[in-house]
Structure 1
């Protein structure tokens, strides 16, 4: 049926050609081109012409959506979007519940420049100061990430280049940054010598370089000076408020700072990799020394929580959660203007399912430190939990951009794209993760889900077998097996592994499926699998779509979705 939305598609085609210099689809015959318009997704215009503004690229793609319901619904709506775009306003404020937005619309201030801080080299005589060098690297990253206009690559990705033989241009291209900061530290007793240079990726030109000879207790001043001069060289104006934000919380005793650096180093460089209990206990012991020396140093408590949280994730044990809560409260009491203390406070409320308070503290954390990769990641998980899937994808995408080697963020984003039937985007997301870490476990699991969703069951079974060999105890394996059995119609084997609304739906057990989903939907905050957008888009519920009861569930879930969008849609 032809209506005004057909004209909007045609306008999208015209805009596509104007912006890229190419037609969206080519073929040997007019029929072949027409079939591509009907069945294929156009290439993102920005992949052809990187100068196209991201908002304009997303507008063009939305005009060309295959599903008319996802296009702009009128010329007036499209014009409004163009006018708002011209004014430079964030598009998050105009997200419509039934329309799947295309853009990462979370950034209120566009990045004016970008930087990666490479691990500082240890030039100390004994070569025993790696923890201090890593700490200096991370502290400068943390300071710079507080500058909203500056894209700063997160620690996880930066540390991949420790002792690398790659040149600056190659590193810059891999991380998607225009500048690189590299340096070295020589530490003897309480004397430090810090050398740093800021390099332009494109031509290798040294934009700035300096050497600082200081006493150890002056390390914080060095960090402040380096951060300030980088902002000046990159022509980012620092207001007095921004200057104040660059100053980290400082301990009364520099030894406490050193112990925190050592604890973080053991956690990140040993325990997270080895999963050995002795490494965990060693990190905790070091952090507790920092607490003993300076009980009013908040980073000692956030450091302890960093170790405890990873222990919870690695072992599945919840025994340290009471300590995490206690440390979070203490850190917040000591410094309410620390991004970490606000994020931990948000996490406590998240655990208690008080999402309004959780939202409040995550918002404050992002105001303090908008460009921290891991912070954007956990905000993405928060949004996933309350069913605001587009916002979740936005923040997870930003986490990936800030921390391209953090595979977990790639995985969360890929899964959500799969559930929304954004298969092409999901494939691209998985491929990017594979480029970063070939055949990584997370992406193999995501690819398995994609095969299931696209009904490529033989490929899914083969890949799931491979996943099981890598990690036989992984909790998701029985669930995916159950889905595969359900898709194949093997009722007994499917139900032996899992019983929920999704499995009942695949098996056409409508009454049980509806009952299960209704029970979930009646909760204040249902599992995200039963939130509005997933119920609306996931093919797993196609067997229920003609049932009036399911339609009523969708209607009620849409109302909840719209209410949450108004309440939490713009952090």
Structure 2
């Protein structure tokens, strides 16, 4: 039997869930399989592809050109997304193969197969080698979905997805498939590494060595301040706080930290705080070989905490051989406050705000106290602004009570330190809730200009402005993906990206994104909430009800989950159950703060007469309820409400900028 080698673009396809469908509905399974083959054959003929093998519900084929292979995959997937939809995974790689008349094999085939296994139905995944071949072809739009150790493949492969309208676009770092469990071990059992940026670092939370476990806020806070300080250096890649802190309290493998966060060094250490005395121990370690580049021990008083942080930041920049501009050096050495008591309160405040949920209210109290002790403490003002915005957005406190406070504190922070990016992000969010598009976008863009690596700015700009105010879903998704790249281990980033996808009507992608976020944090409220909404609009009502009922218990009947459950029962046709839940929600609103828009939308699902729904929506308008922003584009607004003239009148009022009362 003759054999020959050749360079080829290799394509694998596979119908997801085909075997299960055969057992459930054999005729439907055969119909989908036939449609899969017909589309495959038509497009391969058009793009000069050669189908080497059919196997069950999948295929293996090759092309002489990577461009033609990608063109074929795109056309196929766009066809499969039309009714009747065929849930197909497609993976492409460019490599050397061994070919004979009956078989195709070699490392190139293995990599293509592994990439297809990572796929999400409706997406097209490409290896980095294919990406290199098509990079100069502007007709193809792609984005990175992360780097993966594929099973039995020595090198770490960066995988890309096509970013075209109509395709499913998986969230970065969310793919699951045939990956190497031993992450990068070669046949001799030695660790192999993809090239990591030499000037890159992750700062882990300092381990609390004090007798009091409540002192953990201090170790977290000191680490966060070092991250903020180092983030001002343009030449240094600093892993995001949320992703770095995923390794808190774990017996970690520093190589795992380096690979997952894409950094070559890790700063770790411990802190012991007894009264006014501190002992901080720090080590800067190379992840590849565990070599200690630098270590130091500080036995000081609390009064020296700012000097210690400056020393650490400057020592790191020296060891990392980062060329500092004078402006960056000044930013590192700039003190935040000289009041150590205010600083401790600030650290406590940030600690509780970062925990989200009801802890935000606790954080607000600590930040208030910090500002009272030192009104000139710029970072305390930025933390206080963010905390109040979150309390209003998540329905923890009435928006009139907190939104203007957020604006005042953000503006005060900029007076104290105009170089901060965070207050501009806060102001961008505030102006969204004043329905002032011009001021909102201006502030968001300024925040991103000052610090393009500030993930929160990309998320809030993407959701609040681009998605809910503008309906520019393509740009919103782009910023969501940037945020996940900056914070690959943050469930919050996945949750907000899922909100963007859901509003865009991409329910399958939103669901996959939520599941990826829940793998990072099983208790993520946002990911669980939008998992429920995604199931709801995929018409998987039993799954949606199960999620919302579970979330009601876990969140102490948070009004967002309460509203989702009402909607789910109504979508199932169980209006009586929905009505009972609505009455309970209204009764709760007499004793606690419930978001007016949630009640209004729930009422519009339950009642044919929409007077009650608009009563609550108008009340939300008067209170500048943040959830009103979602009315124009979100899918939970029923058609009956959209058809009512009062709906458009409400949107028209929101289009005219109106200041929130002080």
Give SS of 1:199's match: strand
| 1:444-483 → structure 2 map (5 Å cutoff) | 444-471=528-555, 473-477=557-561, 479-481=563-565, 483=567
Matches within 5 A, 1:225-244: 225-231=311-317, 233-234=319-320, 236-244=322-330
1:347 aligns with 2:429: yes
1:28 equivalent to 2:82? Answer no
Q: 1:180 and 1:12, CA in 2 relative to 1: closer, same or farther beyond 3 A? A: farther
Q: Which runs of 5+ in 2 are unaligned?
A: 1-38, 62-72, 81-85, 96-106, 108-114, 125-133, 144-161, 173-195, 583-598, 611-616, 622-626, 652-662
CA RMSD of aligned residues (A): 5.6
Query: After alignment, is 446-455 or 173-182 more displaced?
Result: 173-182
> 2:416: which partner in 1?
334
Q: State yes or no: 1:265 paired with 2:348.
A: yes
Q: Once the 2 structures are TM-superposed, how far is the Cα of residue 142 of structure 1 from its aligned partner? A: 0.8
Where 2:201 maps in the other structure, the secondary structure is: strand
1:317 pairs with 2:398 = yes
Q: For residues 449 and 411 of structure 2, what CA distance do their matches in structure 1 show? A: 20
Residue 89 of structure 2 is matched in structure 1 by 42
For the 8 Å contact 1:145–1:370, the answer to whether it is kept is no
TM-score under structure 2 normalisation? 0.57
| Cα distance in 2, alignment partners of residues 45 and 265 from structure 1 | 49
Q: Which secondary structure state, in structure 2, belongs to the residue aligned with residue 180 of structure 1?
A: strand
> Counterpart of 1:80 in 2: which secondary structure?
coil
Deviations 1:6-41 (A, max 9, x none): 9997699899x9xxxxx9996337889999983234
The structure whose RCO (Cα within 8 Å, separation 6+) is larger is 1
- The structure that has the greater radius of gyration is 2
For structure 1, the residue ranges without an aligned partner over 5 or more in a row are 18-22, 50-56, 67-75, 86-94, 510-515, 548-552, 558-571
| 3-state SS of paired residue (1:197) | strand
Q: Tell me the CA shift for residue 335 of structure 1.
A: 1.7
By percentage of residues, which structure has more helix? Answer: 1
SS of residue in 2 equivalent to 1:332: helix
Deviation track 1:132-188 (CA, whole Å, cap 9, x = no partner) reads 433321111112223455443333443444443233234444545443111234667
Counterpart of 2:201 in structure 1 is 115
For 1:530, the equivalent position in structure 2 comes to 632
2-side partners of 1:422 and 1:111: how far apart? 34
Give 1 or 2: higher strand fraction: 2
Offset, 1:198? 2.0
User: Could you tell me whether the CA contact under 8 Å between 2:552 and 2:562 is conserved in 1?
Assistant: no
Aligned residues: 483
2:138 is matched with which residue? Answer: 80
1:419-438 C-alpha deviation (Å, 9 max, x unpaired): 44545533431222121123
Q: Secondary structure at the match of 1:450?
A: helix
| Alignment of 1:305 onto 2:385 | yes
What is the rounded CA distance, in whole Å, between the counterparts of 1:359 and 1:118 in structure 2? 33
Higher mean C-alpha displacement, 459-468 vs 269-278? 269-278
Tell me the CA shift for residue 482 of structure 1.
5.1
Preserved CA contact (<8 Å) 1:486 1:503: no
Assess if the C-alpha contact under 8 Å between 1:400 and 1:409 holds in 2.
yes
TM-score by length of 1: 0.65
Partner residue of 1:145? Answer: 231
From 477, 502, 520, the equivalent of 1:393 is 477
**Structure 2 Cα separation of the partners of residues 527 and 139 of structure 1:** 33
Q: Label 1:354 to 1:266 Cα distance change in 2 as closer, same or farther (>3 A).
A: closer
Structure-2 change in CA distance of 1:369 and 1:154 (3 Å) = same
When residues 29 and 368 of structure 1 are mapped into structure 2, their CA distance, relative to the original with a 3 A threshold, is closer
What is the alpha-carbon distance in structure 2 between the residues aligned to residue 492 and residue 329 of structure 1?
49
Matches within 5 A, 1:71-470: 79-80=137-138, 114-122=200-208, 130-148=216-234, 150-185=236-271, 194-211=280-297, 219-231=305-317, 233-234=319-320, 236-251=322-337, 254=338, 256-266=339-349, 268-269=351-352, 272=355, 275=358, 279=362, 283-284=366-367, 286-291=369-374, 295-309=375-389, 311-312=391-392, 313=394, 315-318=396-399, 319-382=401-464, 383-386=466-469, 387-404=471-488, 406-438=490-522, 440-470=524-554
